Each structure stands twice: as structure tokens, then as C-alpha cells.
A = this chain, B = another copy of it.
Amino acid sequence: MTRARGLKMTPQRRLIVEYLRGAVNHPTADEVFSAVNEQLPITSRATVYNTLNWLKAAGMIREVFEAGNVRFDPNTTNHHHFVCRACGRIDDVDFDSVGDVAFCALPGRQEIESYDVTLRGLCAACQPVA
């Protein structure tokens, strides 16, 4: 996740990439900004946004949109998501955990290249107490 592409390595970029590598919770840009600033307290928002955009363009992270928020996903493998309606957490769901989606009889002449499934419900922690 750290290969350069005509880019220079800097402490800011290193921290952003490291934070994303460990992130399991689809952080927002602001969460990345806060985390990086705990280590390097003068890091600017512009650098965080620029770096996130470059990583995205380089295909090293993805964006996830949920509940009107833009979040970043360091997992670039083909996978799905589970969203808890109570706490809002977004968990990865392995591609193979969901059986092949069979789409047929689509109205137009679309060419389907990929798909993703969003499962919604209550996560384990938000389950009512029996």
C-alpha cells in the first residue's frame, strides 16, 4: 500500500497510509485527519484530502457512501458491506459470504461489470437483550 507513483514519501503520507492500513471501520476524512494529527499535530486538512484523493485515484483505497457520509475503505478486494441501522457501523462482508447474485431480465441493454450488496440490520452489539 505504500508504492510511489512519481510521488515523494513524506511523514504525513506515511502516517495516513499507516492509519488506513490498520483501519477496520471505514473512516471519514475527518477521522483520518484527527488520527494523523495525534502523531503529527500540524498536518493540514488539505494534505489529508489530497492524499486520500491520490490513493483513491491510484486504486489503493475506495470510497463508501452511507447515510450521506463519505467514508474510505482500505479494503480494495471485491467485497460487500453490512450496515447497522442502530449504531451505523459498517462491516466488511467477504465476497464469498454472499452467494452469487443472479440478475436477469434487466429492463435496458446495460452491461453489468460488477455489483455489490449492502446488508442492513442490527449488529451483534445492538441486538436487543433477549
The chain A residues found within 8 Å of chain B, CB to CB, are: 63, 65-68, 70, 82, 84-85, 91, 93-94, 97-99, 101-124, 127
Known: A70-B68, A97-B106. A118 touches B121 (CB 8 A): no
Residue of B nearest to A123 (CB): B110
The answer to whether B111 touches A104, judged by C-beta atoms less than 8 angstroms apart, is: no
Least Cβ–Cβ distance between A84 and chain B, in angstroms: 8
Establish whether residues A91 and B107, one from each chain, have CB atoms under 8 Å apart when the complex forms: yes
B108 near A112 with CB under 8 A, answer: no
Residue of B nearest to A108 (CB): B124
A72: min CB distance to chain B, Å: 12
Q: Once the chains bind, are A116 and B118 in contact (CB under 8 Å)?
A: yes
**Nearest residue, chain B, Cβ from A122:** B111
How close is A6's CB to chain B, nearest CB, in angstroms? 26
* B120 with A113: CB separation less than 8 A: yes
In contact, A66 and B65 (Cβ under 8 angstroms): yes
Residue in B closest to A105 when the chains form the complex, CB atoms? B97
Look across to chain B and name the residue whose beta carbon is closest to the beta carbon of A80: B103
| Residue of B63, B104, B110 touching A124 (CB-CB under 8 A) | B110
